[in-house]
A and B are shown apart, each in its own frame.
Chain A
Amino acid sequence: MLCDDGRVGGVARGSEPDTARGRSWSTSLLDTITAEGLDPAYRVAADRRSVGGRSGHRRSGAAAGAALAVIGLLFATAAAQVRASAPAEARTRAALVDRIERRTAETDALQSRVAGLRAEVARARDQVLALTAMGAQAAENLQRLEQAAAVTPVEGPGVTVTVDDAPADEQPLGTEPGTPPAAELSRILDVDLQKIVNALWAAGAEAVAVDGQRLSALTAIRSAGEAILVDYRPISPPYTVSAVADPALLEPRFVDGPAGRELRTLAEVYGIRYDVTPVERIRLPGASGVTLRFARVVGAGS
């Protein structure tokens, strides 16, 4: 701060008493800051004035008034700006987060309702179709298609891959102390989940879900800022990727493949945590929201 009596940075230059040197640097700095809250220039100017024989202090003149007017203008402008942006911003942001959480709960409820309805329709339809041979055959064909398109729940043996961001207190290797931690790289990104899913498919998985969201041909894994969205729904760490397959084959293929190697590298360098566990029985829900708006079957009507 600006002090014009020879002190720099609040520490007296060349006039430290021996006792001060015994104290720690930071203590004496704080002492100085708190001790001389008042700008020493006031004291110096007052001394100068009393030497010159004038009164102890000058009544506030026009200069002070003008400076205070500017200060008032500054305060009012800053306050007006804050009121214009911050309440709107705070309101919007808090309201947004609130709405996101509520909307997520709503869509989850909707999803289970749709799943229930689909089961009802399937039951009613199969009942009707069971009355004719042709109908029964059509129902069976449909079942196979439903499995292939991932819209019905499945269960079976499989593997669960769990990944989590690096713990907050761990610094990634290779960063120098004092530099900001590479927060970006110690988080799981959407590309990491994409690669894990891709590797599971390549290793022979028959059904895959991320955090309980079944993956279909329409499901995308992407990120918006720091959040990862699966099928437009935000998910939070730790992330669970479940796959149904022959665990004896899937686990070694995954672990020895490029994704497994990459996970190990990420864990070593950035401290990301992961875990690959075979499971005896996994149940994965069916994918939801499979309405096509543009694609039509060739030869079908509009």
Chain B
Amino acid sequence: MWKWLHPYANAEFTYQFCGKSLRWFALLTLLCLPAGLIWALMFAPADYQQGDAFRIFYIHVPSASLSMGIYAAIAIAGLCSLVWQLKLADAFGAAMAPVGALFTAMALITGAFWGKPMWGTWWVWDARLTSELILLFLYLGIMALHSAFEDKAQGGKAAAILSVVGVINLPIIKFSVDWWNTLHQGSTVTNMGKPNMSIDMLWPFLLSFLGFFFLVAVLVIIRYRTELLARNSMRPWVREIVLNSQK
């Protein structure tokens, strides 16, 4: 039943396939992301309560949910690496981690810039912010572990263990931070929930979400191909590609 997946476990096939799909993802990114963000900046209505600062939302929410999605993908890749010994899963995890860290940082930065005018403070130890910050540390840990090993295969396995341990702990972190926050909260209840969106706002939001998703694909594919070359540098297919590329 899974036979159709088998070619993708082959490094050369995946390298070529990703190379071909890169231009499609890049095209989709260039179609969706600028359109979505320009719509958000210029054409979407200002929020009734929050005014034009609400436009930060169109970057903030996509990057926050993508940051969590990317971590889930890294954890699944770590599992594949440990259970089925798929070497490509190591490379995939190594490729995704910096992208995930970027999106987490973007979520935190846009959140801070949104929070200052809206709620008067750059940072607050809200459950969501705190667990997003811890997620950033998890990403940085995975990146650091990958780069600390000379042997990329060894580093990949270690990072796979870390990502699996981290994903088990992620709900515990969220739960405990939520508990901590609700216990320590003063009389004000910060409402950072997703606002009900009118259709005027939904379309730019969806478009920019798609655009960011395709951007993730582009960034990950570029890094993934680099990892594949680096981890398979002795193979004949790599030699052929490297010697033929004139760049």
Asked if A and B bind, the verdict is no
Residues of A within 8 A of B (CB): none
